Amino acid sequence: MRIGLICNPTAGGGRAAGNAEQAVDELRRLGCDVESAFTTARNDATAQATRLARITDALVVVGGDGTINEVVNGLKGTSIPLGIIPSGSVNVLSLELGLPRSVERACAVVVAGRVRDLDVGVVNGRRFTLMVGVGFDALTVKNIDLTAKRRYGEAAFVATALRREVRREGPDFVVHVGRRRFVANFAVAANTHYYGGRFGVARRARPDDGLLDVVAFRDRTFAGQASFWLGALVGWAGLHPSAAEMRARRLQFVPYGDRGPVWYQVDGELAGTLPAEVDLEPGALSVFVPT
């Protein structure tokens, strides 16, 4: 098997670089022909994925969810399967798919060749595997301390989300799902159950069910938001009295009033401001998974 390996050497506080070297050795030991590429700038993984997809049978990404997102965007229009060596701070997609953390075992999953076809979301032309989050969710990503993120993972996200300026800074917006309309200060269109680590904001979301699970929430109080995120720990955030749950193939997020830009994030990376059109590509990505 010809494999293109793409590594973000800074992922996981630098752990990814060592994991990539180990993965190259292990894949070659298992009989694969490996060409590796290390990213040097934002969106470099997208360009590398597009290039390597033309000359290989499969790609392997060594990094976190942000690197995976870039690679998935580079695979648009191809049928190249993707292997994952979890090496980021949180690794949400790996948790969702039950992928091993061990480099050796993750390589064995790739060589075994069993794939699962996942849905891929698209927001304003950008693909995602996990979610698009709008409002104080995106402000959390915008304001998080990167050192704390690397050291504490999902706990750093919660601490940032509950800061007063993050809770109250962002303006409201409107979620349009079919004929339904919900005014919110946080919403997520989720392709996966897991959200930021083991938090379960969208309790029914599955990455291969042909639908996005939408949770919209409106509450700026510390108590309201704390109870929402505590509910996420056990997968019941969508049942909060200030939340609404919906399922859809297509939806829109649009500003409400004129209080300034409303930010959104894609797979844990800040991506832009509203308005945003969201769609789903069912079964568009093949990922190697354990047997």
Q: pLDDT tens for residues 235-288?
A: 777 778 878 999 999 999 999 988 789 999 999 899 999 999 999 999 999 999
According to DSSP, the residues that pair with 35 across neighbouring strands are 4
pLDDT (average), residues 51-78: 98
**Pick from 84, 3, 88: which is nearest to 37 by CA?**
3
Torsional sign, CA 32, 37, 39, 43: negative
pLDDT at 138: 85
pLDDT at 127: 99
pLDDT at 168: 58
pLDDT (average), residues 137-146: 71
How many Å apart are CA 182 and CA 185, to the nearest integer?
10
- Whether the pLDDT of residue 153 is over 60: the answer is no
Q: What's phi and psi for 234, nearest 5 deg?
A: -110, 10
- Helix residue spans in 193-270 (DSSP H): 222-233
Residue with tokens 């995120």: 229
Q: CATH number of the domain at 128-283, please?
A: 2.60.200.40
Q: Of all helices (H) and strands (E), which one includes residue 189?
A: strand 186-190
- Helix residue spans in the chain (DSSP H): 15-29, 44-53, 65-74, 92-97, 103-112, 136-143, 146-152, 154-161, 164-169, 222-233
CB atoms within 10 A of CB 261: 11
User: Which two three-digit tokens encode residue 207?
Assistant: 């990455």
How many Å apart are CA 39 and CA 119, to the nearest integer?
26
- Would you kindly state where each structural domain of the chain is located, as residue ranges? 2-114, 128-283
163 — pLDDT class (breaks 50, 70, 90): low
86: left (phi over 0), alpha (psi -120 to 50) or beta: beta
Reported as a single tens digit per residue, the pLDDT across 124-133 is 999 999 999 9
Reported as a single tens digit per residue, the pLDDT across 89-123 is 889 999 999 999 999 999 999 999 999 999 999 99
Q: Specify the higher pLDDT residue, 252 or 224.
A: 252
Q: CATH number of the domain at 2-114, please?
A: 3.40.50.10330
pLDDT at 197: 72
229 — pLDDT class (breaks 50, 70, 90): confident
**Pick from 232, 66, 87, 242: which is nearest to 141 by CA?**
66
How many Å apart are CA 71 and CA 6, to the nearest integer?
8
Reported as a single tens digit per residue, the pLDDT across 185-202 is 999 999 999 987 777 889
pLDDT at 242: 78
pLDDT at 220: 79
Mean pLDDT over the full length of the chain: 90
pLDDT at 63: 97
Relative to beta strand 33-38, strand 2-7 is: parallel
> Kindly report the CA angle at 100 between 205 and 36, in degrees rounded to 5?
105
Q: What's phi and psi for 140, nearest 5 deg?
A: -60, -45
Q: How far is CA 199 from the centre of its chain?
A: 13
**Pick from 161, 182, 164, 162: which is nearest to 172 by CA?**
182
